[in-house]
Amino acid sequence: MAMPEECAALRSFTLLTNKGAIMLSRRQHRLSRFRRNKRRLRERLRQRIFFRDRVPETLDKPRVVVLTGAGISAESGIRTFRAADGLWEEHRVEDVATPEGFARDPALVQAFYNARRRQLQQPEIAPNPAHQALARLEAALGDHFLLVTQNIDNLHERAGNQRIIHMHGELLKVRCSWSGQVLEWTGDVTTDDRCHCCQFPAPLRPHVVWFGEMPLGMDDIYGALATADIFIAIGTSGHVYPAAGFVHEARLHGAHTVELNLEPSQVGSEFEEKHYGLASDVVPAFIDKLLQEL
């Protein structure tokens, strides 16, 4: 049996040991906190140096968001949906541009988009001066520029634009009906073509946003509109939402709004500045003037 003196010594040793462990833990915590704060300080310093070096390049450049519609591609030979000779007149919208239409007759839908895909790749279909002007604007503004297009063609890319959101999809791509995986596709698509990304090969569908489906990239679009200094709409009808509401969103955040169109759009009254005429005339003229002011 332990003597009282031995018990007291044992208790003292235990207390000292626990106290030492606590002190060691506190020292480790303080050291860890010191190192963490030091890392944060270095990161803030790097950010300040980066920002200081970047300011002369970017401070005077406006943030520009451009929305383009079918009107900008009409002069390149691509027919618009809502024109008198538009493709919609050959088919009912619900037959070729809805998920229900695809489920009902996939062969008809694939044939419809195959024809458009072949047309897009004809040698006479090429970017026009309006597309080229937007490529020059992006080259001047860099990451202060965003192009949002309702068009499913690739004329903006062929003109040289890179910062693009295809909110209605892309004609030269298809996607898996089950997984949603997107694939490059330049040829015809048949009902027998399958995506092999899934365990069970799934049918392919056009990578196009149909009526009743959610447009693509909306979070990024609204984020850009919230910080835009200038919003420009080109070749749009103002009939299709949510794109028709972008001008209102941009104005709410203080952007200067510009409409470049063949004629006033359905939401033309929302724009502060308006220029009407052929896209190949009014777009380069406006962009060149804007570039001179940068």
Annotated binding site for substrate: 113, 116
Annotated binding site for Zn(2+): 176, 195
DSSP state of 217: S
Q: Please answer whether residues 157 and 77 qualify as being in contact, where contact means their C-beta atoms are separated by less than 8 angstroms.
A: no
Q: Cα–Cα distance between 85 and 105 in angstroms, integer?
A: 24
Q: Cα–Cα distance between 131 and 113 in angstroms, integer?
A: 23
Q: Cα–Cα distance between 258 and 227 in angstroms, integer?
A: 16
Q: Cα–Cα distance between 138 and 162 in angstroms, integer?
A: 8
Which residues sit opposite 173 in a β-bridge? 184
Task: Return the closest-CA partner of residue 251 out of 264, 275, 270.
Answer: 270
Displacement of CA 252 from its chain's centroid (Å):
20
Three-state SS for 254?
coil
Displacement of CA 240 from its chain's centroid (Å):
18
Known catalytic membership, residue 168: yes
Q: What are phi and psi of 285, to 5 degrees?
A: -65, -45
Tokens 């420009």, located at residue: 232
Annotated binding site: 69-88, 113, 116, 150-153, 176, 195, 235-237, 261-263, 279
Report angle CA 267, 215, 280 to the nearest 5 degrees.
Answer: 50
Annotated binding site for NAD(+): 69-88, 150-153, 235-237, 261-263, 279
Sorted by sequence, the CB contacts under 8 Å of residue 117 that are 6+ apart come out as 171, 172, 186, 187, 188
Of 144, 166, 168, 207, the active-site residue reads 168
Task: Return the closest-CA partner of residue 232 out of 270, 194, 203, 192.
Answer: 270
Q: Cα–Cα distance between 222 and 167 in angstroms, integer?
A: 12
| Positions marked catalytic | 168
